[in-house]
Structure 1
Amino acid sequence: MINTIYRYIKNKYKDERIVIIIDDFNSLDKFSYLMAKDILTSKIAEQAMFIISFKSDGLISNDIRALINDIRKEQNTIEIKLKGLSKEYASEMIKNLLSMGYTQDCFQTKYLK
């Protein structure tokens, strides 16, 4: 399946950089965890920026905790701890990370419910 996703990205986006957002990483089911792990360690990672959110104070399986720790060790990893972040500030942060000139309404209504 990862090869199919990789071919799709290469055909659609060529060598353009892409952003993959994985929300509530700590709550992934087994299939989603395995898929995320494969994507994070595949050729897709060479042209992708991943934004992964998780609640460090929640229950996290050992597999997911180990993967989070592996991600933290990567050279190009930036970890930002957010406490009490509002939807407006979160959308502003995403806008700045993606170098956008405006904040899309869908950030607040669709992704930050």
Structure 2
Amino acid sequence: MAFLHRPGRRINWEPVTTAGIETGSEMVDVEQTLSEMWSDLLECGAVTEESDFFECGGTSVTAVHLAALIQDQFGVTFDAVEVVVERKFGKMTDLLTLRCAALS
């Protein structure tokens, strides 16, 4: 799977297995990681709880890509339909946090 990368940005794309989220000796912040994904995919600036995926430049193709990244990064089921339905950043973060918490 290919990932979009902007020079100067480094994101750890290793899969994560729990929410909030401890991976070995490392804590992963769901909101921060998802924010980096949005910024990387959509090439938008800072996102807020009210940021809308499509207003930030998202398309159906980037929704599929984001869903795949979320599944790979967090190890949870997440599909493009959920990106469309939970299109606000805050709602998507809440759903993802719940999914990750269910794994632990």
Q: Establish whether TM, by shorter chain, passes 0.5.
A: no
**TM-score of the superposition, structure 2-length normalised?**
0.29
**TM-score of the superposition, structure 1-length normalised?**
0.28
The higher radius of gyration belongs to: 1
Q: Which has the higher helix share?
A: 1
Q: Which has the higher strand share?
A: 1
- Larger RCO, structure (CA 8 Å, separation 6 or more): 2
